[in-house]
C-alpha cells in the first residue's frame, strides 16, 4: 500500500522552467475538451470575477463536446468526473443513497448524499444551510460544463466548502433548437431525454425533461426518476439583465439493497440484505427549486443579486424505522464587484434558511406506523446561515498578482419538539475563514500558491441522531475545521498540442466528525475525534497530436490518515490512495470511438483498517458517428456503449464503519446500452 509521507513542494517550483515551452501560446485546456485563452474564462464556481489566468487556486474546467454528449450514458456523475484530479465519486448502484463524493478526502464520512463539498447547479445551490447536498437533482447527461475548486473554499461559499463543484446545463447559443436522445440497455434500463433552446426577441429560453427507469444490477435496487428544468435570460435594459431558472425532480421509487460483507460481495454481489428487503427499504421524494438573478452594471461596478428557494418532500423507510422530512429552504446572495480600480475588489452578503419538519416512527411494511406510541421523533428543525465576505486581487507586477479573501459565517440550529418532551433544542456556530494566494504568469504557464480554510458543521441529521435517544440536537459534537496549502503549475506547450495541470497540497482537519453504529442496520451517530492529515499530488494531461486522435490522462496520489485518537496512523476509510485514469478518442472517417480506463487502488472500508477493498481496473467503450442528415433542419446519430468491458468484479463503494462487517457495495457486471440522438435546428 503506497503512502505519501512527505510532499516536497519545492520540487514543483524548481522544475517549472523545464515544463515551459517558449513558443507556445498562453492557453489552457480542461480535462475534457476546452481550449481557450487563460484570461477569457471566468470561474462561476467562485461567484466572483476571477478568471483562470489570475486564479491562485487549483481548479478544473471541463467543457463536454457534442460527441461525448451524444454517446456517453452519463447516468451518474462519476462518468463525468473520473478524469478530474482530486475528485472521487463512487457510483453505489443505489439511487436511494446516491453517489459518494470526496475532494482530496474531504466528505469521506457521508453515509448518503454528499458532505463537505459545495455543489451548485445553474446557480442554484444544492447544498443547503446545514451543509447537506442532495445530488439526485442533477441529471448528469444534461450537464455541459463542470468547474471544480479542488481545495478548501469557505471564503467563497462558507459551510461545507472543502471543495466546490459548479455544474451548468445551459446550452450553447448555437446548440440545436430541439434535441431528443433515448437509449435502452442492461438491467432493463431505459432513458428518454428532450432538450430545447431558442430565442424569443431579446430573450432566450432553454430547458430539458428526462425520464429514467432501471431494475438495477442488484436485487432490490430498482429506481425511477423524472427530471425537468426551465431557464430563461432576459435583457431588460442596456445595462441590466435577468436570469430565471426552475428545476424539478421526482423519484417515486428507489429501492435500497444495503451493503454486504466481504464474502457476500464476492460470492453473491447481486444479493440484497434480507432485513432491507423485508422493510421495503428505499426512498421516494419530490423536490422543486427555483431561482432568479438580477445583474446591473453601474459606472463604479456590477451588482449581482440572486435569490433561490427549495421544497422537498421525502419518505425514507429503513430497517430501524420510517423517516419523513418536509423541507423548505432558500436564501439570497448579493455581491458588488467594483470596476475602474487599480485592483479587483468585490464584497457581499448571504443568508440561507432551512426548515425541516422531521418525523420518525416505526416502519410497517415500508409505510409509517399509524400508532402514536411508535413515534420516536417529531420536530421542526430550523437552520439559519448569515455571512459577510469580501475578496481583493492586487496586481503586483505585470505577471504577479495577489489574492486575499475572508468570510464570516454564523449558523444557528433550533429544534421545536412536537412531542412535548424536554430537549436541548439549539446549537450556534461561528466561523471566520480567510484565504491568501499568489499567481505568477510566465509565458504559456501559470504558477500559483494558495492558503485556504474551510469548516463543516454537523448537519441536522447528524445533530438529530442522538446516541442517548430522544428529541433535540446532540450537544457534544462541533464543526470540523480545515486548513490547507497548495501550489502548482498549469499551462501548455508545443503549440497547443500538450496541456498540463500539476498540483501539490497538504491539509489538516481538526475536530473531525467520526460516524459509528450501535446496532446492525441501525442509525449512524457521530462524534468528534482528533485530526486527519491529507497530502497529495494531482496531475492531468492532454495530448492532441492529430485531429483524429487525442489522449487525456489523470493521476491522483493521496495520503489521508488519522493523526491522533483511537485510530492514530490509520488510513481514512472510503478514500482511495491512488487513482489513474486515461481516455483515448479515435475518429477514423465518420466514426468516433472512445475508450475510458480507470484504475483505483485498494482502500480502507473502516476506521480501524481491518477491512480493505481490492484494487480494480475498469474499461468503458463507446461508439458513435458523425450526424446523418435527415433533412435540411434535422439529423440523427446512433450510439452504443459498453461499461465494465472486461466484466471486472469490484466494489464500487463502501458503507464506512458499518456494524457487523456490512461494509461493501458491489459494482455492476458488464452492461450494454444502445440508442439514438436526433437534432432539429
Beta-strand ranges (E) seen in 186-239 are 189-200, 203-214, 223-237
Which residue, among 483, 347, 490, 508, has the nearest Cα to 56 in the 3D structure?
490
How many angstroms separate the CA atoms of 216 and 358, rounded?
29
Q: What is the DSSP string of 404-420?
A: EEEEEEEEEEEEEESS-
Its pTM surpasses 0.75: yes
Neighbour-count burial for 598-619, b at 16+ CB within 10 Å, e otherwise = bebbbbbbbbebebbbbebebe
Q: What is the DSSP letter of 133?
A: B
How many angstroms separate the CA atoms of 331 and 322, rounded?
29
Residue 370's CB is within 10 A of a number of other CB atoms, namely 9
How many angstroms separate the CA atoms of 100 and 112, rounded?
7
Grid cell locating 64: 463536454
Grid cell locating 525: 451517530
Question: What H or E segment, with its residue span, contains residue 9?
Answer: helix 9-15
pLDDT of residue 490: 94
How many angstroms separate the CA atoms of 123 and 235, rounded?
18
How many angstroms separate the CA atoms of 146 and 16, rounded?
27
Which residue, among 546, 504, 583, 441, has the nearest Cα to 27 in the 3D structure?
441
Half-sphere exposure of 116 (CA within 13 A, CB side): 26
How many angstroms separate the CA atoms of 99 and 661, rounded?
21
Residues 6+ apart with CB under 8 A from 217: 93, 187, 270, 666, 667, 668, 669, 671
Q: What domains are there in the chain, each with its CATH number?
A: 9-680 (2.40.170.20)
Q: How far is CA 19 from CA 175, 494, 504, 539, 593, in A?
A: 37, 11, 16, 13, 31
Distance between alpha carbon 337 and the CA centroid of its chain, in Å? 27
pLDDT of residue 423: 61
How many angstroms separate the CA atoms of 104 and 557, rounded?
9
How many angstroms separate the CA atoms of 184 and 671, rounded?
11
pLDDT of residue 19: 39
Grid cell locating 566: 483511537
Question: What H or E segment, with its residue span, contains residue 427?
Answer: strand 426-442
Beta bridge partners of 120: 125, 166
Distance between alpha carbon 233 and the CA centroid of its chain, in Å? 26
Which residue, among 315, 462, 473, has the nearest Cα to 380 in the 3D structure?
473
Grid cell locating 581: 485514469
Neighbour-count burial for 251-285, b at 16+ CB within 10 Å, e otherwise = beebbbbbbbbbebbeeebbbbbeebbebbbbbbb
Per-10-residue mean pLDDT of the chain, 681 residues long, equals: 39 38 36 42 76 85 93 94 92 87 87 85 93 91 95 92 94 88 97 94 94 96 97 94 97 96 95 94 96 95 96 94 95 94 93 94 91 87 95 92 95 84 76 95 92 89 67 76 95 83 95 71 71 95 90 95 87 93 95 96 94 96 95 94 96 89 94 96 86
Beta bridge partners of 284: 315
pLDDT of residue 284: 96
Distance between alpha carbon 292 and the CA centroid of its chain, in Å? 22
Hunting for cell 500558491 — which residue is that?
A: 449
What are residue 375's phi and psi, to 5 degrees?
A: -75, 120
The residue count of the chain comes to 681
Grid cell locating 434: 480567510
Q: What is the DSSP letter of 368?
A: E
Q: Are strands 531-546 and 549-562 parallel, antiparallel or unpaired?
A: antiparallel
Which residue, among 77, 151, 163, has the nearest Cα to 452 in the 3D structure?
151
Grid cell locating 607: 476506521
Burial class (CB in 10 A: 0-12, 13-18, 19+), 299: exposed
Burial class (CB in 10 A: 0-12, 13-18, 19+), 647: exposed
Alpha helices in 131-222 (DSSP H): 154-157
Which residue, among 5, 9, 47, 19, has the nearest Cα to 448 in the 3D structure?
9
Amino acid at each position: 500500500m503506497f503512502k505519501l509521507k512527505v510532499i516536497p513542494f519545492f520540487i514543483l517550483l524548481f522544475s517549472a522552467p523545464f515544463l515551459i515551452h517558449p513558443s507556445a501560446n498562453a492557453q489552457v485546456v480542461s480535462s475534457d475538451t476546452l481550449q481557450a485563452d487563460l484570461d477569457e474564462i471566468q470561474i462561476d464556481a467562485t461567484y466572483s470575477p476571477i478568471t483562470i489566468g489570475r486564479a491562485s487556486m487549483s481548479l478544473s474546467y471541463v467543457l463536454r463536446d457534442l460527441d461525448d454528449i451524444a454517446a456517453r450514458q452519463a447516468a451518474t456523475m462519476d462518468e463525468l468526473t473520473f478524469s478530474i484530479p482530486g475528485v472521487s465519486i463512487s457510483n453505489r448502484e443505489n439511487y436511494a443513497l446516491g453517489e459518494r463524493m470526496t475532494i482530496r478526502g474531504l466528505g469521506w464520512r457521508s453515509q448518503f448524499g454528499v458532505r463537505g463539498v459545495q455543489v451548485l447547479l445553474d446557480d442554484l445551490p444544492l447544498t443547503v444551510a446545514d451543509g447537506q447536498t442532495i445530488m439526485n437533482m442533477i441529471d448528469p447527461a444534461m450537464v455541459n460544463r463542470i468547474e471544480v475548486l479542488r481545495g478548501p473554499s469557505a471564503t467563497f461559499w462558507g459551510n461545507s466548502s472543502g471543495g466546490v463543484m459548479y455544474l451548468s446545463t445551459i446550452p450553447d447559443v448555437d446548440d440545436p433548437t430541439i434535441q431528443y436522445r433515448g437509449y435502452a440497455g442492461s438491467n432493463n434500463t431505459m432513458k428518454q431525454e428532450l432538450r430545447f433552446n431558442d430565442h424569443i426577441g431579446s430573450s432566450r429560453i432553454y430547458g430539458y425533461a428526462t425520464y429514467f427507469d432501471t431494475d438495477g444490477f442488484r436485487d432490490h435496487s430498482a429506481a425511477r426518476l423524472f427530471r425537468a428544468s426551465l431557464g430563461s435570460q432576459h435583457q431588460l435594459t442596456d445595462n441590466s439583465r435577468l436570469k430565471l431558472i426552475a428545476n424539478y425532480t421526482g423519484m417515486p421509487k428507489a429501492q435500497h439493497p444495503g451493503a454486504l460483507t466481504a464474502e457476500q460481495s464476492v460470492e453473491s454481489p447481486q444479493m440484497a440484505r434480507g432485513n432491507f428487503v423485508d422493510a421495503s427499504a428505499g426512498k421516494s421524494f419530490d423536490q422543486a427549486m427555483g431561482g432568479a438573478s438580477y445583474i446591473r452594471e453601474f459606472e463604479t461596478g456590477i451588482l449581482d443579486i440572486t435569490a433561490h428557494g427549495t421544497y422537498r418532500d421525502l419518505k425514507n423507510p429503513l430497517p430501524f424505522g420510517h423517516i419523513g422530512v418536509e423541507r423548505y429552504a432558500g436564501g439570497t446572495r448579493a455581491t458588488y464587484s467594483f470596476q475602474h480600480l487599480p485592483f479587483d475588489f468585490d464584497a457581499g452578503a448571504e443568508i440561507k434558511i432551512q426548515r425541516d419538519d422531521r418525523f420518525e416512527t416505526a416502519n410497517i411494511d415500508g409505510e409509517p406506523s399509524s400508532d402514536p406510541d411508535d413515534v420516536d421523533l417529531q420536530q421542526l428543525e430550523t437552520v439559519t446561515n448569515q455571512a459577510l465576505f469580501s475578496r481583493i486581487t492586487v496586481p503586483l507586477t505585470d505577471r504577479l498578482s495577489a489574492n486575499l479573501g475572508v468570510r464570516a459565517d454564523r449558523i444557528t440550529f433550533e429544534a421545536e419538539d412536537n412531542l412535548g418532551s424536554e430537549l436541548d433544542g439549539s446549537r450556534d456556530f461561528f466561523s471566520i475563514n480567510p484565504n491568501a494566494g499568489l499567481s505568477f504568469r510566465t509565458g504559456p504557464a501559470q504558477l500559483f500558491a494558495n492558503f485556504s480554510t474551510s469548516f463543516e458543521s454537523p448537519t441536522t441529521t447528524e445533530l438529530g441522531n442522538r446516541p442517548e435517544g430522544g428529541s433535540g440536537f446532540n450537544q457534544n459534537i462541533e464543526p470540523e475545521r480545515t486548513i490547507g496549502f497548495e501550489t502548482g503549475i498549469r499551462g501548455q506547450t508545443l503549440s497547443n498540442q500538450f496541456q498540463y495541470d500539476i498540483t501539490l497540497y497538504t491539509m489538516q482537519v481538526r475536530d473531525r466528525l467520526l460516524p459509528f453504529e450501535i446496532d446492525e442496520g441501525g442509525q449512524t451517530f457521530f462524534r468528534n475525534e482528533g485530526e486527519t492529515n491529507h497530502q497529495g499530488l494531482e496531475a492531468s494531461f492532454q495530448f492532441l497530436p492529430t485531429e483524429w486522435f487525442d489522449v487525456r490522462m489523470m493521476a491522483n496520489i493521496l495520503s489521508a490518515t488519522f493523526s491522533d485518537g483511537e485510530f492514530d496512523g490509520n488510513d481514512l476509510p472510503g478514500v482511495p490512495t491512488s487513482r489513474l485514469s486515461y481516455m483515448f478518442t479515435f475518429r477514423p472517417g465518420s466514426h468516433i470511438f472512445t475508450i475510458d480506463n480507470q484504475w483505483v487502488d485498494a482502500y480502507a472500508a473502516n476506521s480501524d483498517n481491518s477491512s480493505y477493498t481490492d484494487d480494480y481496473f475498469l474499461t468503458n467503450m463507446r461508439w458513435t458517428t458523425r450526424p446523418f442528415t435527415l433533412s435540411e433542419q434535422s439529423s440523427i446519430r446512433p450510439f452504443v456503449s459498453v461499461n465494465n468491458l472486461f466484466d471486472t468484479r469490484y466494489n464500487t463503494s463502501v458503507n464506512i464503519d458499518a456494524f457487523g462487517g456490512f461494509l461493501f457495495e458491489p459494482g455492476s457486471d458488464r452492461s450494454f446500452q444502445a440508442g439514438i440522438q436526433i437534432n432539429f435546428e
